[in-house]
Amino acid sequence: MSKFTTWAKRGLFVLAPLALFAAMSASAAPSEDSVPSAVREALQRDLGLAPGQLAQYLKVERQALQLERQLANAQGDRFAGSWLERKANGDYQLVVASTSLQPQRGPADTEIRSVRHSLAALGASKRELDTLTARGGKAPDGVYGWFVDVRNNSVTVNIAPGGEQAAVDFVAASGADAGTVRFETMASAPRPLATLQGGSEYLSNDGTNYYYCSVGFAVTRQGAQGFATAGHCGAAGDRVFVAVNRRTVSQIGAFAGSSFPGADRAWVQVDNNHTLQPVVDGYNQSDIVVRGSTEAPIGAAVCRSGRTTGLHCGVIEAKNVTVQYPGEQVNGLTQVKVCAEGGDSGGSFITTPGQAQGVLSGGNYSCKGKQANLATSYFQPINPLLQAYGLTLTTTP
């Protein structure tokens, strides 16, 4: 059992009392008409997309998935990352960054942009920060995490207001190239999103207390069925329940594997008399079908589903992010500009074409009022989670 305070230990997934699992999903074909209404409305609400802009975005997203590896290989060791970017007129384009000074022209809706640092150089600087903490060095209070920020061609260190000097000293102690580092002030600290409550549809129990979390995606392993979720939601062996009513719960399975801190991944094996569906809950609207787990690029839109706040959509900002939670560090997360709240932990992140991306780890603001526009959330990527436990994602053909 990881040492962790009760306010941050768990979270809850939406699950009916009959144990009918609803993970999170999206449509098969990345065209506007094929996107479920729940996702379409969430994208337009959270990203400010008009119908025509949504169609153009989906076209560029599809193109990025087809071309970004080819374009990266063409740059060789000059490659500095790629991402989807929204232009001033509201249209999207794929940006490929390169340290080459020669002007280059890419395909339609693609810009090849000259930058200073290669992706390899930025990765080397981030590894210096990771190595310092891996060898026992501690990130100072007010340093919330760091990542290779391809959009700003830097290693960005997220810090608290007034935390600049501590962050400068931390970077200096690591030996990272200071010329690659920039600081980004984050007004509220990230934390694993979980909440201790009672009387809900799905709970984990550590032998003493019940906690709420959200299901990620239906999975199988050697004939056993279950679901992927966040590691801080439960330790291996912790039991999992659904609420029958306000006073009674019924056990449906247990955590078969869990890792936290370091990573934030887990899977729950569910008794075979229950049914898990390869969909993501659209909350009072169309559920979203899971088609696969192709990784989306930086700048891509993803939607998150969780039991506390329902369906919300945002944009991938960075990958391989190191996050400093209170007293615990988690590596390899993906950063998304989207809100979430306690109890959403473990919930699904998915793209509009129905590609599973990961399970919610934590964040720093709620979905209430103006806070939602400030929020940043982090997810544990799904493919490393599946590989870690030898799982197969359940999909709909």
Q: What is the pLDDT of residues 313-360, one digit of tens each?
A: 999 999 999 999 988 999 999 999 999 998 899 999 999 889 999 999
Q: What number is the average pLDDT over the span 198-223?
A: 80
pLDDT confidence tier of residue 260, bands split at 50, 70 and 90: very high
Which pLDDT score, from 0 to 100, does residue 201 have?
53
Using 50, 70 and 90 to split pLDDT, how confident is the model at 134?
Answer: confident
| Residues whose CB falls within 8 Å of the CB of residue 379, separated by 6 or more in sequence, listed in order | 304, 333, 334, 336, 349, 357, 358, 359, 360, 361
Cis peptide before 326 (omega within 30 of 0): no
What average pLDDT does range 231-246 have in this prediction?
Answer: 84
- Given a cut of 90, whether residue 238 has pLDDT beyond it is yes
Among 103-117, 174-188, 218-232, 272-286, which is the least confidently predicted range?
A: 272-286
pLDDT at 193: 61
Average per-residue pLDDT in the chain? 85
Please give the CATH topology (third level) of the domain spanning 119-185: GMP Synthetase; Chain A, domain 3 (3.30.300)
Mean local confidence (pLDDT), 56-60: 92
pLDDT band at 17 (very low <50, low <70, confident <90, very high): very low
Structure confidence at residue 28 (pLDDT): 29
* pLDDT-based confidence at residue 243 (cuts at 50, 70, 90): low
| pLDDT for residue 150 | 97
Q: Can you give the pLDDT at residue 31?
A: 64
Residue 111, pLDDT above cutoff 70: yes
Distances (CA, A) of 110 to 57, 73, 154, 267, 298: 13, 15, 21, 39, 14
- Name which residue leads in pLDDT, 276 or 320: 320
Q: Are strands 79-86 and 217-221 parallel, antiparallel or unpaired?
A: unpaired
Distance in angstroms (rounded) separating the CA atoms of residues 306 and 358: 12
Q: Which of 57, 34, 131 lies closest to 297, judged by CA?
A: 57
Q: Which of 294, 305, 303, 316 is nearest to 86 (CA)?
A: 316
Q: Is the pLDDT of residue 199 over 50?
A: no
Where is average pLDDT lowest: 5-14, 194-203, 367-376?
Answer: 5-14
Task: Taking residues 26-33, report their average pLDDT.
Answer: 47
Q: How far is CA 11 from CA 29, 82, 158, 254, in A?
A: 32, 33, 25, 15
Q: Which of 46-55, 123-132, 332-341 has the lowest mean pLDDT?
A: 46-55
The residues spanned by each domain of the chain are 51-114, 119-185
Mean pLDDT of the region 154-171: 95
51-114 is classed in which CATH architecture?
2-Layer Sandwich (3.30)
Checking if the pLDDT of 25 tops 80, the result is no
φ, ψ of residue 46 to 5 degrees: the values are -85, -30
How would you class 250 by CB atoms within 10 Å of its CB: exposed for 0-12, middle for 13-18, buried for 19 or more?
Answer: exposed
What pLDDT score does 251 carry?
A: 82
- The two three-digit tokens of residue 172, written as one number: 């200096």
Whole-angstrom Cα distance, residue 192 to residue 230?
9
State what percent of residues in the chain have pLDDT above 70: 88
Residue 14 has pLDDT above 80, yes or no: no
> Residue type for 86, please?
R
Q: Taking 80 as the threshold, does the pLDDT of residue 62 lie above it?
A: yes
* Domain 51-114 identical in fold to domain 119-185: yes
Closest CA to 382 of 365, 352, 361, 397: 361
Catalytic residues: 232, 264, 345
pLDDT at 230 > cutoff 50: yes
Question: Is-contact 24 304, C-beta < 8 A?
Answer: yes
Express as a percent the part of the chain with pLDDT over 90.
61
- Bridging pattern class, strands 275-280 and 20-23: parallel
User: In which band, very low, low, confident or very high, does the pLDDT at 22 lie, cut at 50, 70 and 90?
Assistant: very low
